[in-house]
Amino acid sequence: MSVAVGSRSIRLERRLHVDPRRSALIRVIGLLASLVVVALLLAITGRDVPVLAGEILDTTLGTSFGLQSTAVLATPILLDAIAVAIPLRMRLWNIGVEGQFYVGALAAAGVGIYVDAPGPILLVLMALAGALGGALWILVPALARAFWNVNEIITTLLLNFVAIQWVTWFSIGPWRDKEAEVVSATPEVGARLPVLIENGILHIGFFLPLILAAAFFVVFRSWRWGYEVDMIGGNPRAAEFAGVDVRRRIMSVMLLSGALAGISGMVHLSGASGRLQGTISNQYGLSGFIVAALAGASFVALIAGGLFIALLLASGVALQGVGLSVYIVLAVYGLALIGIGVGEMASRYRLTIGDRREHPVGSERGPP
């Protein structure tokens, strides 16, 4: 694409090499730009932006409770983001993490309520049930993708709505807590993840995504399985010629993704909510999806992104204090996303201004 201005032309050129550090910097600039837009909008509608910003930082990072609740919020988002990032490395979009999270929590709750076992063993059983539930929930989309070539974006998405209804039905129907008169939730599960600080809310589940991100970083750097997945992501036909069983990889990657999302549901259930209910996920799956996609499926960038999104969502409390509804956070979230997305593209291309005669028609393709 080139725009002629007089005898000069402004061209958008693809960079052959994208420096990751520069790319990250530009994304952050894109993000800051969108936050500036939000600040301007707030200022126009008569809010004192500096005071508000101070309040947001105070309620999220300024107190121990604020820090803890941000970390608790970040845990399911990060786990879901890892679940999305793995299939994303072979260009498969699992938008169904929300549903797999729900079914994982459902399966874990079933074990946690009805199985009688000592705490640690029960937690392991719950995690296994959660992983199985999540994997089961992605099985049909995975089969459809691997064997019948049905696009996974919509199939995984549709099952989200089904999963939410199952959880709602179980928690207000057969598994409802009859003793505590809690109308829309199950009884508390038999084992809870321990908290880190006495009387605090931060549970040890927070470390799981950090450990998993490090583990998958290694897997994709030096394991054959990870290398093959990346290869399929780069060029599926080339991978097939090289002898990679693409269908088997699709199945293993998608089932692993579902299982991780299911474990995310189990961790949130046993670490934070305690009881299963229809509203157990506050769209963590969507946030995790966004974080993974923005991080370009990089396990390092994903941690930073997930923590930031958790901070953004946690800041909703301060915004509500000045008469804005919780929904405005969603809108800010969307704008931030666009800002980062534009930044990502900007880092891949560069504007060049040159003499038009230097660029004869044949050279449009650039160097080979």
- Determine the residue type at 6: G
Residue (246 or 342) nearer to other proteins, CB: 342
First to last CA, the chain: 18
**Shortest distance (Å) from residue 319 CB to other proteins:** 11
Cβ-based nearer residue to other proteins, 43 or 330: 330
Adjacency order of strands within the sheet including 2-5:
2-5, 8-14, 349-355
Q: How far is the CB of 13 from other proteins (least distance, A)?
A: 8
Beta bridge partners of 8: 5, 355
Minimum Å distance from CB 360 to other proteins?
A: 14
Contacting positions for other proteins (CB under 8 A)? 1, 13-14, 93, 140, 144, 147-151, 153-155, 157-159, 161-162, 165-166, 168-169, 172-173, 286, 289-290, 293-294, 324-325, 327-335, 337-338, 341-342, 344-345, 364-366
Cα(122)–Cα(196) distance, integer angstroms: 20
C-alpha span between 276 and 175 (Å, rounded) = 9
Q: How far apart are CA 321 and CA 271, in angstroms?
A: 28
Nearer to other proteins, 41 or 115 (CB): 41
State the minimum distance, in angstroms, from the CB of residue 364 to other proteins.
6
What is the Cα–Cα distance from 149 to 162, expressed in whole angstroms? 22
* Nearest to other proteins of 262, 316 (CB atom): 316
- Please give the full DSSP string across 122-172, using - where no structure is assigned: HHHHHHHHHHHHHHHHHHHHHHHHHHH---HHHHHHHHHHHHHHHHHHHHH
Cβ atoms of 133 and 108 closer than 8 Å: yes
- In the complex, the smallest distance separating the C-beta of residue 247 from other proteins, rounded to whole angstroms, is 13
Burial (CB count within 10 angstroms: exposed 0-12, middle 13-18, buried 19+), residue 21: exposed
Residue listed under structure tokens 């999806």: 289
Between 125 and 304, CB nearer to other proteins: 304
CB of 362 to other proteins, least distance (A): 12
Minimum CB separation of residue 144 from other proteins in Å reads: 5
Answer for the pair 261, 106: CB distance below 8 angstroms, yes or no. no
Collapsing DSSP states into helix, strand and coil, what is residue 194?
Answer: coil
Closer CB to other proteins, residue 38 or residue 182?
Answer: 38
